[in-house]
Structure formats: structure tokens, C-alpha cells
Amino acid sequence: MANDDEDTRFFVEESLREIQLAVRIEFVENGEQVLDYLYCRGRFAGMSNWHFPDLILLDLNMPRLDGREALTLIRSDPDFQHVPVVILTTSQSRGDILLCYRLGANSFISKPVTFEGLVEVMKTLCQYWFEIVSLPDEAL
């Protein structure tokens, strides 16, 4: 998950605990760090427990490299084109929604304002992406 807001990262982690779904989540603070994670560079270089992401949660408005730019770069790399990217952001802009889908986002979710709403979103999101749909193997 790429999000520069510490509270959002905390609440997402807490919501995952609340729904008791065993998923591993790696938090980064901006689009540049998403790419560092994907390419095992920077603080992720030589990481012994690195795993190929099954899903990327991406905020739009982050410093250094925003979500739109990160999405463009992720979708331009054949190694990561099959990884679902879900935009999870405070934006409700019709322009942002359209742009993100044009850039290859798989879903666009406006963050709920309450913790209970976030728990419900994370529960539904995890059920859909990890229990309902079939995702390709990383070895494609």
C-alpha cells in the first residue's frame, strides 16, 4: 500500500486485523517507494522476505511521485501489468476516476471517512481480490 498519510496506513492495518484476514501488507509512503519495492532497490534491496505483490493499493496525492505517475510506470512494465492496482484515495473527482481507469487502474475507491466504513471497504476489497477472483501467478 502506498499512502503518505500515517493515520490512513494505521487504520488500514487495524481494519485488516479487525476482519481477521491473513494478508501480508507492505506500506510505503509514495510512488517512488512503490517502484523501489517492485524493483527491489533502495531500502528494499536484498530484502530476504520480499514477495511479488498480489495487489497494489495506491493513493493519488503523494509526494515525490504521485499515484497517477506510479500507476503509469507500473502499467508500462510487462512484469507488473497483471498485478491489480486499486486506487484508494480521498479524491472523488470524476476527472481522477476517468484518468485512473484510462491509465490501467483495476478499481477506484474513495476512502470512507469513518473507521467502520474503512473496515467494510477493506473486508469487501480483500474478499473480492483474494477469495473471489482468480489472479495470475507471478511467473507469467
SS3 107: strand
Structure confidence by residue, pLDDT tens digits, 75-95:
999 999 999 999 999 999 999
Domain 6-132 has CATH 3.40.50.2300: yes
Beta-ladder partners of 127: none
pTM exceeding 0.75: yes
Residue with grid cell 498480489, as numbered in its chain = 54
Q: Of 5-19, 43-57, 83-97, which has the strongest mean pLDDT?
A: 83-97
- Whether pLDDT at 123 is above 80: yes
Domain boundaries, the chain: 6-132
Q: Please, are residues 119 and 18 in contact by the beta-carbon 8 Å criterion?
A: yes
